[in-house]
Structures are given as structure tokens and as C-alpha cells.
Structure 1
Amino acid sequence: AGRCPWAQVSARCQPVPVPQRYCQDVYRGQLASVHSAARNQELQKLARTHTALAPWIGAVTSRRAGQWESRWEDSSPWNYANWAPIHPHHTVTTCTTLSTRDGLWRSRFCFQLRPFICQY
């Protein structure tokens, strides 16, 4: 995968806990968080150059204090979202993919094997 100063795409498919550790150990970073439409489009284009499969980004949707909420793994503010219709799912804790085709986010079971985007 090509290097750039803030993001890296791995085409090696992994379930989410592995990329979280990989991003931390290799790049001292984390799975990518997205805070604007411009950044979403940038990551979509970057990912498309490495994989056709939608990669993991750092959003997790889970139930907290009886409410479903989405949050970023890096604890940055939740100030932007680009969910596909009917997403995120509110049945079990899910992780999030960024479509290389349409740029929309979709809830997925966290154990699915997928590429991932690190930010650092």
C-alpha cells in the first residue's frame, strides 16, 4: 500500500480487533475517523486505489446506557456521518465500513475479514 502522512490502507483482510492493534503497533495510530464530506471522499479515493472491498474505518455502533450510539475508536467528536439508508444497525454492536463505490458507511459484524484504513 502506498504511504501518505496521515492514512494507510492495508489490503490484507482482518477482523476489526486486529487492525486496531496493527494501526497502533505499526503506525502509532488508529482506524480512521471521518469528520467531513471532503475527508470521506479522500479516504474513499485512497481506498479505491488499493481494494474493491469496503475497508474498515474507526466507527463503532453499540448500546450504552440503554441508547444506541456511534462513536469513533480514537475518541474524537462524532460530528459527521455518511450512513447508507437503514444503517447503522441497532441490534448488536457493529463496526463500520466505507464503500469504495459510493462512499457510504455500512454497519458490519466486527469479525468480518476486510481491508482497513489507519490514520496516524
Structure 2
Amino acid sequence: MTTFALTAPNAAAARLRIARLEQLLENMVRLPIIGHRIGLDALIGLVPGIGDFAAGALGLYLIWEARNLGASTATLLRMLANVGIDTALGSVPVVGDVFDVFFRSNTRNLKLIKRLL
């Protein structure tokens, strides 16, 4: 696998982009009654048909950034599995919407990236 050579400033910028995207996708707003935070991943997932696939595509961006940072194939596959599970189970009507609130594939993937760095 070919990886891109990132200089220190570029790697720092990539880490910042990843953290900001994870914040947007998973922790954007607090639900008032239960106090749980949700983001665009759960909100976009409410759109029937394409919402979960659009959120999955945003999750794939984190995997692309991890690849550019030199993540191993095993880490990339684990990240892909997280996004795949989130997309597949999130696409189930009603139950999937609840699942999206609690299964945070992007947060899991950010933790994998932080371990890499």
C-alpha cells in the first residue's frame, strides 16, 4: 500500500480536520431530555433511503485521512467495519435511528487514529 508522505504541519492539520469532523458527525448537539449528544450522523440518518449512506460516505473520509497518515491495513479494515456496521444497521427503519444515536462509528475510528498517532 502506498502512503502519502505527510510533513509535520500537514499531519497536524489532518489530525485537526479529523477531530472537527468527528465532533460534527457525533457530538454536535445535546438532546435535552436524555442529555446524550448527537451529530450529523444520526440526523442525516433520519432521511429515508439515502441518509445513512450519506453519513457513511462522510465516515469514509476519516478512513481516507487515516490512510494518508499511514494507518496499517488492519486498522483501516477495522475502521471500515465500524462504518459498515453503522451504515448497515442504521439503515433499518426506526431501530436503526436509535442505533445511530448510540453506536458512534466515527468516535471509534477517531480513537483508532489517535492510537496510531
For normalisation by structure 2, the TM-score amounts to 0.26
Higher RCO structure, 1 or 2 (CA under 8 Å, sep 6+): 1
Q: Which has the higher strand share?
A: 1
Q: Which has the higher helix share?
A: 2
Between structure 1 and structure 2, the one with the greater Rg is 2
Superposition TM-score, scaled by structure 1 size: 0.25
